């Protein structure tokens, strides 16, 4: 009984500490960004000019850059994540060589983001520059598409790991029932595997999107760091995280610092929104599945 009470106390204490830390981060960013909140208010989200010299700050260029890079990265990575998950979780899950594949996948998920940034800077940027020359586009090399490719490579292991584990949890007798009814392997995948594990698949997709949405270092190295509305996917841009990483140490004016922290506050709020939305959607899919 005493051990049970100790365990409950540790559980409740851990939950309280997590909620307290989240609240402290939110309050501290809100207080630190108060000069920007008083100056710009909610209009900060739609203001498009970012000029520290003139004291003009707006979130819109960085919000668009963040949504474009993370959205394109998710679209690029999703087919590969599903394919890799089916390869190791369905087609060859009983084979021994799949262990080497999964170990490599786990290794890629643990590599620091700066390594991906260096890879993109030295290998992807020259390739993108060659493509831009052929397309008669200004050959920056860095930009939205380069950052999206780096992010796509980064988030493939995250989403495929979760989707693979969820696919492995599909009961064997459910698969065999599909085959017994005359279904092909493709039918089993589309009509049994995916519907049964759709909540886990969505969770993996949302986790990958959250990973891409808040990525800083790798994106900062290859996105071009241009604080304006991106004109195309080849244009240099900035994300909400990259502009904070680039300018926070150089900001000297109080309004400039407060505006950067205000961007961080919005990044925190948007991340919470997507997490809560994802949990609601996953919960509804689980109820429908039952």
pLDDT for 28-43, tens place per residue?
A: 999 999 999 999 988 9
Mean pLDDT of 156-179: 84
Q: What is the pLDDT of residues 220-252, one digit of tens each?
A: 999 988 888 888 899 999 999 999 988 888 888
* Residue whose token pair is 């981060």: 25
Question: Lowest-pLDDT range, 92-101, 178-187, 190-199, 204-213?
Answer: 92-101
Which residues have CB under 8 Å from 259's CB, separation 6+? Answer: 33, 36, 40, 44, 57
**Residue 189 predicted with pLDDT over 60:** yes
CA-CA distance, 121 to 107, in Å (whole number)? 21
Domain boundaries 33-289, CATH class: mainly alpha
Instruction: Provide the pLDDT for residue 12.
Output: 75
Among 45-49, 204-208, 281-285, top mean pLDDT goes to 45-49
Tokens linked to 114: 């700066």
Residue 287's pLDDT is what?
45
């Amino acid at each position: 009984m005493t051990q049970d009470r100790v365990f409950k106390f540790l559980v409740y204490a851990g939950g309280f500490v997590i909620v307290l830390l989240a609240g402290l981060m939110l309050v501290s960013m809100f207080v630190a960004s108060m000069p920007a909140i008083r100056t710009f208010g909610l209009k900060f989200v739609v203001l498009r000019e970012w000029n520290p010299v003139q004291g003009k700050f707006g979130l819109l260029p960085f919000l668009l850059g963040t949504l474009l890079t993370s959205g394109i990265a998710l679209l690029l990575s999703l087919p590969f994540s599903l394919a890799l998950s089916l390869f190791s979780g369905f087609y060859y899950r009983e084979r021994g060589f799949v262990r080497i594949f999964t170990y490599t996948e786990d290794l890629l998920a643990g590599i620091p983001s700066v390594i991906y940034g260096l890879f993109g800077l030295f290998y992807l940027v020259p390739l993108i520059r060659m493509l831009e020359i052929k397309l008669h586009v200004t050959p920056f090399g860095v930009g939205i598409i380069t950052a999206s490719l780096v992010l796509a490579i980064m988030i493939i292991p995250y989403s495929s790991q979760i989707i693979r584990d969820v696919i492995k949890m599909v009961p064997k007798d459910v698969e065999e029932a599909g085959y017994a009814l005359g279904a092909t392997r493709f039918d089993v995948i589309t009509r049994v595997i995916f519907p049964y594990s759709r909540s886990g698949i969505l969770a993996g997709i949302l986790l990958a999107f959250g990973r891409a949405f808040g990525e800083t270092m790798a994106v900062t190295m290859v996105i071009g760091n241009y604080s304006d509305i991106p004109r195309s996917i080849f244009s240099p841009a900035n994300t909400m995280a990259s502009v904070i990483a680039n300018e926070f140490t150089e900001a000297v004016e109080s309004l400039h610092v407060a505006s950067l922290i205000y961007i961080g506050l919005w990044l925190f709020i948007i991340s919470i929104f997507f997490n809560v939305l994802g949990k609601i959607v996953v919960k509804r899919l689980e109820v429908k599945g039952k």
